[in-house]
Structure 1
Amino acid sequence: MSQIPWWGLPLVAVVFALAGALVALLVTARNDNLLKRQRRTRQWYEERKTAYVQLLTAFERATHRLRAAYEAGDKPPSALSYLDQIGPALMPVRLLASGPVRSAALAVHLQLERLHSEMNPSGVVGVQPQIHFRELIAQVPLVMQQFEAAIREELGIRDVPPEPARALNGVVRGLLRRPVTISGTDPERG
């Protein structure tokens, strides 16, 4: 006869049931934590991407309006109308962006703000306002390019597509495509 007490088997069952419940609870908590982290990362990426696209679009609109006004010979829109147009798109970037992106966005903003203000290079001898305006507006795409590069760096956007996943049975397919030689004869010769 066994020397195990009558309460030993139920005790072992309860201990294992509690251990299983604890392991299930820990695994569920870990999975929930990973899902929350993944959602926060996705939300972080989407918020920034949306803010950056809106600001880039607003900058492009402002640049286009400046060029159209210049080509038509009109006065550029006022700095106040420019701020009304850019302000709602610029504020989320100022709040959400990293330092390099924020600096690049403010560089574009200052360049466009300078173009929207009165062109008065009276302090510089021999500078004509039209030439000064053309030089400043020619610099806008360069500053925008630096802004785009900072965005790409922050968001991890690369200009090459990801490599395609390799099939696990690629080695087997490669072996099947090779010509089979039997007892030293070459299949090409017959």
Structure 2
Amino acid sequence: MFNFKDIFSVTLILFSVIDILGSVPIIINLRKKEGKIHSGRATIISGALMIVFLFLGQSILQLFGLDVGSFAVAGAIIMFLLAIEMILGVTLFKDDPDATGAGSVVPLAFPLIAGAGTLTTILSIRAVYETPNILAGIVINLLFVYLVLKSTNWLERKLGKSGFSILRRVFGIILLAIAVKLFKEHINFIQ
């Protein structure tokens, strides 16, 4: 049932896609604008979105007449573009300026933590990994997300701008490799 190697792989994949460490500058800006970050609420809402999409994502796809292979290839392309953003430091996806909400839950939970890339990845890895291993990977990432949200002040002081830049690029390269792998595995599946 539980496979620790698969749990580690899922955790690493989701960690790269969620990129909570790379999002710390955005979180710090949100905290300055909003005055407070609701870490617990943002973590619970993003976790609920991920788990609902894990179990109902395929049904949603079928509702639109799509298959998992096509969705996985689309997800791989999105992950590829996110990786390019992370590696090159460019912005391809624009933030929604109207996406501010009570206590920053809306911009944090969705789209920052459980955004399109994360939800696409969850559905894509469902074709490769067992559900209990994916759930374990989600929970581990949510714990890490919560810790990061709670410690943004400390992280801001310790890592500095260059530290975040290095982390973002490293996880960008990992995400790029994952995107290429997903694309290779599923491009033949949809033909």
Q: Could you state the TM-score of these two structures normalised by the residue count of structure 2? A: 0.33
- Larger relative contact order (CA 8 Å, sep ≥ 6): 2
Give the structure with higher Rg (CA): 1
Q: Could you state the TM-score of these two structures normalised by the residue count of structure 1? A: 0.33
The structure carrying a bigger helix percent of its residues is: 2
